[in-house]
Amino acid sequence: MQPSPIKSRPLYGTLVPVRQATRHIAIAEGEGASAVTEAFRGHDALSRTIILFSPAPRSTDCQQETLLASLACEALHVASGVEDLLAELVTTLSAATMGTRLYVSGSEDFIGRVTSEALHQGIDADAIQAEHRGAPTRRVQCVHCKGFTDGVSASPAPCAHCGLHLLVRDHYSRRLGAFMGVCIDAEAPGEIPPAETFGA
Amino acid sequence: MSGGVQFPVRVIETEALSPTVKRLRLARRDGQALPPYSAGAHTVLTLDGGTRLIRNAYSLLGSTLSGGAAYEVAVLRSPQSRGGSAFIHDHLTVGTDLSLSAPINLFPLNRTARRHILVAGGIGITPIAAMASELAALGLPFELHYAMRDIASGAFAAELAAQHGDRLHLYVSERQERLSVRDILARQPLGTHLYVCGPERMIEGVMAHARIAGWPESALHAERFLAPEGGEPFALRLARSGISTVVAEHETLLEAIEAAGVDAPYLCRGGACGQCETRVLVADGDLLHADHYLTDSQKSCGQTIMTCVSRLRGRELVLDL
């Protein structure tokens, strides 16, 4: 990833279980399962680890799920989609205590949604680790209609709510877990440059 | 002038809270209000100690978020005192004039936290009690744990018990009551923050327990004011001012600089804020870093020194002042 001059643009690392944590919650989507597997395989933290997983959208592959099941963690929840997975996360975090660490891996928009939800549940930002796997798709908030568009892979992109063509900026809101999208043809309606895909 | 805005004040009330703790109430001599401050803030008192100026930092009691007519501090007569706290105990009476700095808060409550665990040992109760009363006023959930040697030295215990009821937990070591950090930290919900003020060993102990229990650094807060200790005297040269002087046994580096007439930067005078960081040009001897501001690697490379609490063991120190 090219370093962005925009300070709010999130940077992601590699998941490393924090040895002294009393509980570990790993949450992954699609290829994020590999990051969780690589970080936790054989780790003595597994007996205190809950894994929440949802396959990538429109995927029928069960390989990731099998991989996670082979870890033999304390509990593995597989959800059918991100909405269900987030609901499960809220339930898990509402009963969690200090000493809990959260590990997130998947596409960029997935990381954003999970992180924002987890912060709303009161976890400290430095108790969350994130590793980017899979598509470099972004969650974007349209600054005009305030609607969110998930899975945005290029800029400019149409807003799923008001239809404006949005320039996707590197400016990021941790509260919303989304990048900022601004109308690209406000000055010259209809002049829309070709879309450029986000780099990995 | 260094140290920020100064307010000329007068002692308008004194009270012995215990044989070793004296409360002072201070109001501006011109009758104006003092600036508002938040719980955890401190002020630096400047008073004429006869042979020298005494400048000590004290936590402010209570909180006056709306601005207040007077400030209150509680001063422990410190057995390791270089004279400041003893002078306050023996000589400060109603009517004494002194000045105080604008309040500074290096130990604020985290306003995004959902629950607050306050832990105090001995005189460390002063900022912690202010936090408890602010949290109670805001209706936010908190627990207050207060450890003391004996009931007589627990200057604030009765008042706190009346104010906070069963949210206050007292531990009197004379009665073999021990504060069990492990039990306090267990089962705290996400979003809980921990605040500790007390003797250095207590702070280290509580923080170590919290880290072992997996608490993230951002949830841990401590006030580590140091009473600067004396040491062996050494020669001091201020290169830019062309002044040579001596830092005496019972004097801090900063006090020697001020006594030589140089207005050097400072704020907390307790090794916490970083304001007095000064470049070292030559150190003929070992730098004794005592602050909590510089990192270990900064301390070992010795390019700067915090003049308020650190000193030299050796012949001469040359500073870029």
Do both B275 and B243 map to the same domain? yes
On whether residue B61 sits in a domain, the answer given is yes
For residues A23 and A20, what is the distance between their CA atoms, to the nearest angstrom? 9
Rounded mean pLDDT of chain B?
Answer: 90
Residue A56 has pLDDT above 70, yes or no: yes
Do both B90 and B146 map to the same domain? no
**What is the tally of structural domains in chain A?**
2
Residue with tokens 């207005």: B263
Q: Which of B161, B154, B104, B103 is nearest to B132 (CA)?
A: B161
Do both A111 and A143 map to the same domain? no
Q: Across residues A9-16, what is the average pLDDT?
A: 94
Residue B288 has pLDDT above 90, yes or no: yes
At CA A96, angle to CA A94 and CA A102, rounded to 5? 105
Q: Which residues of chain A neighbour B191 with C-beta distances below 8 Å? A: 121-124
Domain boundary among A91, A110, A132: A132
Question: Residue A49: which domain range?
Answer: 23-132
A–B interface: beta-carbon pairs under 8 A: 52
Is-contact B136 B161, C-beta < 8 A? no
Please report the pLDDT score of residue A4 as a whole number: 81
Do both B120 and B218 map to the same domain? yes
% residues pLDDT > 70 (chain B): 96
Q: Which residues of chain B neighbour A96 with C-beta distances below 8 Å? A: 189-190
The CA R_g of chain B, rounded to the nearest whole Å, is 20
Could you report the per-residue pLDDT of B53-92, keeping only the tens digit for each?
Answer: 888 889 999 766 655 779 999 999 887 767 788 899 999 9
Domain boundary among B105, B126, B154: B105
Residues of A with CB under 8 A from a CB of B: 18, 20-23, 93, 96-101, 121-127
Q: What is the DSSP letter of B37?
A: B
Residue B107 has pLDDT above 90, yes or no: yes
At CA A87, angle to CA A14 and CA A49, rounded to 5? 45
List the CATH number of the domain containing B169: 3.40.50.80
Do both A31 and A125 map to the same domain? yes
Closest CA of chain B from A146, distance in Å = 24
B64 by DSSP, 3-state: which?
strand
Q: Which residues of chain B neighbour A97 with C-beta distances below 8 Å? A: 186-190
On whether residue A13 sits in a domain, the answer given is no
Domain boundary among B197, B223, B249: B223
B213 and A22 within 8 Å at the Cβ level: the answer is yes
Do both B244 and B309 map to the same domain? yes
Is-contact A147 A153, C-beta < 8 A? no
Q: Cα(first)–Cα(last) distance of chain B, in Å?
A: 15
At CA A102, angle to CA B183 and CA A80, rounded to 5? 125
Q: What is the DSSP letter of B109?
A: -
Please report the pLDDT score of residue B150 as a whole number: 85
Do both A115 and A170 map to the same domain? no
Question: Residue B170: which domain range?
Answer: 115-223
Closest CA of chain A from B220, distance in Å = 11
Q: Which residues of chain A neighbour B114 with C-beta distances below 8 Å? A: 122
- Give how far Cα A89 sits from Cα of A28, A101, B114, Å: 11, 13, 19
Do both A142 and A181 map to the same domain? yes
pTM of the model: 0.86
Domain boundary among B192, B223, B254: B223
Is-contact B182 B213, C-beta < 8 A? yes
- B212, B213, B216: residue with CB nearest A127: B216
Do both A27 and A101 map to the same domain? yes
On whether residue A120 sits in a domain, the answer given is yes
Do both B72 and B50 map to the same domain? yes
On whether residue B45 sits in a domain, the answer given is yes
- A23, A97, A126: residue with CB nearest B216: A126
For residues B58 and B45, what is the distance between their CA atoms, to the nearest angstrom? 8
B7 by DSSP, 3-state: which?
strand
Do both A142 and A126 map to the same domain? no
pLDDT tier at A86, thresholds 50, 70, 90: very high
pLDDT tier at B162, thresholds 50, 70, 90: very high
**What is the tally of structural domains in chain B?**
3
List the CATH number of the domain containing A102: 3.40.50.80
B217 by DSSP, 3-state: which?
helix
Residue of A20, A92, A98 to mutate when probing chain B, most B C-beta within 10 A = A98
Q: Which of B107, B18, B17 is nearest to B60 (CA)?
A: B107
- B186, B188, B214: residue with CB nearest A18: B214
At CA A104, angle to CA A134 and CA A30, rounded to 5? 35
- Give how far Cα B240 sits from Cα of B264, B266, B282, B283, B316, Å: 12, 18, 13, 16, 16
Q: Which residues of chain A neighbour B215 with C-beta distances below 8 Å? A: 98-99
Residue B299, phi then psi, degrees to nearest 5: -65, -40
Do both B256 and B300 map to the same domain? yes
Q: Which run of H or E residues covers position B205?
A: helix B200-212
Q: Which residues of chain A neighbour B216 with C-beta distances below 8 Å? A: 101, 124, 126-127
- Give how far Cα B316 sits from Cα of A93, B15, B245, B279, B280, Å: 58, 44, 10, 15, 11
pLDDT tier at A23, thresholds 50, 70, 90: very high
Do both B92 and B10 map to the same domain? yes
Do both B153 and B214 map to the same domain? yes
On whether residue B20 sits in a domain, the answer given is yes
Is-contact B13 B26, C-beta < 8 A? no
Do both A110 and A163 map to the same domain? no
Strands of the A178-183 sheet, one edge to the other: A148-152, A138-142, A178-183, A165-173, A157-158
Do both B241 and B199 map to the same domain? no
List the CATH number of the domain containing B101: 2.40.30.10
Do both B15 and B84 map to the same domain? yes
Q: Lowest-pLDDT range, B49-53, B111-115, B266-270?
A: B49-53
Alpha helices in chain A (DSSP H): 32-40, 63-69, 82-94, 108-120
Higher pLDDT: A141 or B51? It is: A141
Do both A149 and A108 map to the same domain? no
Residue of B143, B190, B217 to mutate when probing chain A, most A C-beta within 10 A = B190
For residues A188 and A186, what is the distance between their CA atoms, to the nearest angstrom? 6
